[in-house]
Structure 1
Amino acid sequence: MMQTVRYIPTYTQQGPNPPATGSSLHGHGHWMPENVQLRRAWLSSLLDKTKPEIPHKIRKEVNPVETFRKLIEENSTLYMLAHSMFEEIPEKAPYDRDPTTLKKQVRNYRTMLYLFNTLLTEVPEYFLNDSPDVPSGLIGFPFNVVVDWPMGTPSGRQFFLDYRVNECLKAILNKWNDFLKDPTAGGQGESGGNKTLIKAGWNSNRALQQLEDKANESTPNEPKRKFADLFEYPSGGTPENFFNYPHWDAFFTRKFRSGVRPVAKAAVVNACESFPLSFDTEVSGRTTFWLKGTPYSLHDMLGATKDSSVGTYVDKFVGGVVYQAFLSADSYHCWNAPVTGVVKYRSLIDGTYFAETAASGFGGSSGPDPAGPDLSQRYITHIAARGVLIIDTDVEGGANIGNVGFVVVGMSEVSTCEWFSNTEVGKTITQGDVIGAFHSGGSTHCLLFQRDAVRKLQFNPKAQYPEVASANLAVNSELATLI
């Protein structure tokens, strides 16, 4: 079989070059605002409520942003890179101003840190704007908006690959995740977390409509369902109180109601509510994944550089297939078992958070791409924080297609990949079981199949040829059948 590499176009109907004030820059994922003006308006509002200070403690504990500041300022190399990654941003539109003040926004690392400190006590917003020139929309990756331009510079790529930087970022994002799981967030009593969600615009008609539209687009032949008919929520929930979710994480990891996503009768079902990105055959054990084109490198993807015991599984998948798909920030974010089988290997791997491929940064042939996180999805499967699960399907009730690999990738501030307890090594999981979840943002995932298994499988054409897909594939829907 010939190797097949397919990408989804970054700019719908706008060509390859990013427009200075264009409206559709992130057409697949909704992680970053699709409209540059929306991103600037939100960032301007964040700057308005940000103070030029970094407290030593936050909620009576050491402030990880202050720890990050010390790391930068006490290390000459990182201090130089922190300065340079902002200085390397071009002095021209759309990087030099926002639509309200016509001044530069985030042009130094100190402002970046001040904004990070503010975000530690903010939930991701559904930003509502009454201006006819600036739409409302989801701010799925608030931290990523702050660093979107510097992370694409040569110095930024070096800075955000440094393990010490990523250790600090992990501490910052873990602290943020604590806030997102806190029912007293915002200091407003027992319902504080819920009030914070409402303050962030999630009970608005626009937000609810977007969530409903995203879920319903996966099942175009079924009647349209309202939010309350699609998802589980706590007792007493209404649209007005945003279904009584106690905090952001409870809303974000919400489950579908029973019967909404039935498990298809298939050898492999879709593990995530997700949009197809690529389908590659004849994948390599190890290759130069950091070059333009970003081929898959199984050795790096599965974390063999950190755990040699996974090497035997690398060998099993060489010459096989990698299918990758991404989750929108407004979608279901739990993971379901794609196959029935016994768990043979499970891991969680620390990695990078804001590293992107050079091809999508300021060194790219088309100039910097504001959708860099989208274009970097294949690249980050090798270096980002991620989880790996290997399932043996040669068991009673299984599809008998050997080992199937499931790699979940924490993209940007998605700092938590969680395997549930039913995925412990030696346990049998049943196709369709809920086995884990992302926390705090949208992300991407891969399914790996052995060479011999591919000869037994007929894949869903929308997975095998991502360019024909026009909407998410429903979780638990048919991904592949036995020939």
Structure 2
Amino acid sequence: MPAAFKGWTHHLFTLPRARPSRDKKCSDDRPLAPVIQEFQQLIEDDPELFMYFHTMFDEVRRPNGDIDYVDDYKELMKALDRIITQAPGFGGVNNLVTGVPMYAVLAPFCNTPSGYSIFTNPKVNAQLHKIFDVWAAFLVSPESRYVLTTNEKCWFSPVAIDVMSQRLGTSFYDAWVCRDSDPDKHYGFTSWDDFFTRRFRPHLREVVDPDNPDIITAPCEAYFHTIQSNVRAVDKFWIKGNSYSLSHVFNHDPFTPLFVGGTVYQGILSSLDYHRWHSPVDGIVRKTRLIPGTYYAARLDNDRDPDIVSRSQDFVTAIAARALIFIESDNPMIGLMCFVAVGLGEVSTCEIMVKEGDRLKKGDELGSFHFGGSTHCLVFRPRVSLKPFSHVQPGTLQNLNSNIFYIEKGTDSN
């Protein structure tokens, strides 16, 4: 287990199982939260899950028998119980724990055969959703602001502010819409979630060429992952190299056949950055859908780095909780396209803010992620002649509303 994970789990088990409000009625020997008790009961009542939750630990156990603080499923329940009483703190720019503490505990198990069986199990994902609902109630409350201070490992500490400012090339206050200029007053943010879903100030990410219908802009502040053409209706999405299975990505939506043979663009969002989605084209919303799915399932590999979910970006588009927004572009050479928001880990709530029939301008807000990690796709129909701009290279940050594609003249998507 990497030092960041080990340090986090050690720190986690030194924390009292209590709300940060320091409720004196909550002590470390109190029972597990009801939703965690329900999870433990689910494991113990289901013989298949009970077996997997034992073999999962065997599959990550070191030769000397240790697994760094979380030794069995009961210890795991205690860890989850503590996590849902806390708001995510700042661990550093390269620290996986930052913003995703539950994934930090679960990640070593995600790349095991038993872990795969657990995290693809519908009953487990339904229970995780219940746990996230309880945690979310805390993360939208004022009590969650205890990490929005200038204290060490908090989001307005000098180190955190410096990291966030360097990423944007300007001061935190100049970059983000704040209700107050004083970090000691949480910059006016009302909760952890209010901070997580913070908005850019209007001047920071303006659409460069808003009246050019042949340019498609980045819908999110995200690192470019891949572009794949000639995508299939049904493919072996669990095998690397067979990335996108459109029927599964769209959950068998009637629009699916229109996109077979088309192109998928995918980008990855960081927990440190902006988490809202914006329209990449002018057009009309034709349909929206929220699709339930997994949270921590990943494509198994032999990489020793435990951050397997980040290596499974294309895989999760077919199985993770996600939102679909179908947009009919005003440009007939683009036509119907789809924005896909995919929630990864933690709460990963996808909130759609538009509805069928809404008229959109390029850069208009579509919705947002809440609480956790995330990725997104743009899906285009075949015969849309997409040409990426030269700066769209794997691993590069594509700023929100920046130009990512242009349409070659003389082509037609119909």
Q: TM-score under structure 2 normalisation?
A: 0.89
The residue identity in structure 1 corresponding to 2:173 is A
Superimposed CA distance per residue, residues 23-56 of structure 1 (whole angstroms, 9 cap, x where no aligned partner): xxxxxxxxxxxxx322221221101125676736
1:281 Cα offset (Å): 0.8
SS at match of 2:237: coil
1:461 Cα offset (Å): 2.8
Distance 2:126 2:30 in 1: 19
CA 1:247–1:424 in structure 2 vs 1: closer, same or farther (change >3 Å)?
Answer: same
Other-structure match for 1:3 = none
Other-structure match for 1:346 = 288
1:10-89 to structure 2, matched below 5 A, reads 36-49=2-15, 55=31, 57=33, 63-89=34-60
1:422-461 to structure 2, matched below 5 A, reads 423-453=354-384, 455=385, 457-461=386-390
1:399 Cα offset (Å): 6.2
Superimposed CA distance per residue, residues 92-117 of structure 1 (whole angstroms, 9 cap, x where no aligned partner): 49x946xxxxxx32121111110111
Is 1:404 the counterpart of 2:364? The answer is no
Other-structure match for 1:207 = 160
The residue identity in structure 2 corresponding to 1:75 is D
1:197 Cα offset (Å): 2.5
Superimposed CA distance per residue, residues 219-254 of structure 1 (whole angstroms, 9 cap, x where no aligned partner): xxxxx31011101011x3323333121210111111
Distance 1:253 1:399 in 2: 33
The residue identity in structure 1 corresponding to 2:406 is T
Other-structure match for 1:4 = none
The residue identity in structure 2 corresponding to 1:405 is C
Distance 1:295 1:317 in 2: 15
1:136 Cα offset (Å): 7.7
Identity of aligned residues (%): 31
Structure 2 residue aligned with 1:113, among 54, 77, 86?
77
Is 1:233 the counterpart of 2:178? The answer is yes
1:316 Cα offset (Å): 1.3
SS at match of 2:174: helix
Superimposed CA distance per residue, residues 91-145 of structure 1 (whole angstroms, 9 cap, x where no aligned partner): 149x946xxxxxx3212111111011111111111138xxxxxx98862211111
Distance 1:438 1:294 in 2: 27
The residue identity in structure 2 corresponding to 1:39 is F
Is 1:260 the counterpart of 2:224? The answer is no
Distance 1:194 1:109 in 2: 30
SS at match of 1:169: helix
SS at match of 1:48: coil
The residue identity in structure 2 corresponding to 1:49 is L
1:358 Cα offset (Å): 1.6
Superimposed CA distance per residue, residues 313-368 of structure 1 (whole angstroms, 9 cap, x where no aligned partner): 21111111100000011011111111111111110111001111122xxxx3x5x4
Structure 1 residue aligned with 2:88, among 124, 136, 147?
124
Other-structure match for 1:17 = none
Is 1:166 the counterpart of 2:125? The answer is yes
Structure 2 residue aligned with 1:144, among 103, 109, 119?
103
SS at match of 1:88: helix
The residue identity in structure 1 corresponding to 2:388 is F
1:167 Cα offset (Å): 0.4
Distance 2:245 2:257 in 1: 12
The residue identity in structure 1 corresponding to 2:178 is Y
Other-structure match for 2:403 = 478
Distance 1:229 1:205 in 2: 16
Distance 2:239 2:91 in 1: 36
Distance 1:53 1:72 in 2: 22
Superimposed CA distance per residue, residues 340-398 of structure 1 (whole angstroms, 9 cap, x where no aligned partner): 11111110111001111122xxxx3x5x43120111111111000000111111x3xx4
Other-structure match for 1:219 = none
CA 1:300–1:209 in structure 2 vs 1: closer, same or farther (change >3 Å)?
Answer: same
1:263 Cα offset (Å): 0.8
Are the counterparts in 2 of residues 275 and 327 from structure 1 also a CA contact under 8 Å?
yes
SS at match of 1:85: helix
Other-structure match for 2:187 = 243
SS at match of 1:146: helix
Are the counterparts in 2 of residues 353 and 411 from structure 1 also a CA contact under 8 Å?
yes
Other-structure match for 1:392 = 328
Unaligned runs of 5+ in 1: 1-19, 21-35, 58-62, 98-103, 129-134, 186-192, 217-223, 305-309
SS at match of 1:424: coil
Are the counterparts in 2 of residues 279 and 322 from structure 1 also a CA contact under 8 Å?
yes
The residue identity in structure 2 corresponding to 1:256 is F
Distance 1:237 1:122 in 2: 25
CA 1:399–1:138 in structure 2 vs 1: closer, same or farther (change >3 Å)?
Answer: farther
Is 1:419 the counterpart of 2:352? The answer is yes
Distance 1:246 1:403 in 2: 38
CA 1:408–1:140 in structure 2 vs 1: closer, same or farther (change >3 Å)?
Answer: same
Are the counterparts in 1 of residues 287 and 325 from structure 2 also a CA contact under 8 Å?
yes
Is 1:279 the counterpart of 2:227? The answer is yes
Q: Give aligned pairs, total.
A: 391
Are the counterparts in 2 of residues 350 and 385 from structure 1 also a CA contact under 8 Å?
yes
1:458 Cα offset (Å): 2.3
The residue identity in structure 2 corresponding to 1:278 is T
Distance 1:210 1:241 in 2: 20
The residue identity in structure 1 corresponding to 2:161 is L
CA 1:292–1:55 in structure 2 vs 1: closer, same or farther (change >3 Å)?
Answer: same
CA 1:113–1:137 in structure 2 vs 1: closer, same or farther (change >3 Å)?
Answer: closer
Are the counterparts in 2 of residues 270 and 476 from structure 1 also a CA contact under 8 Å?
yes
CA 1:155–1:50 in structure 2 vs 1: closer, same or farther (change >3 Å)?
Answer: farther
Structure 2 residue aligned with 1:293, among 241, 251, 255?
241
Runs ≥4 residues deviating over 6 A: none
Superimposed CA distance per residue, residues 414-446 of structure 1 (whole angstroms, 9 cap, x where no aligned partner): 4300001xx211211211011100001231000
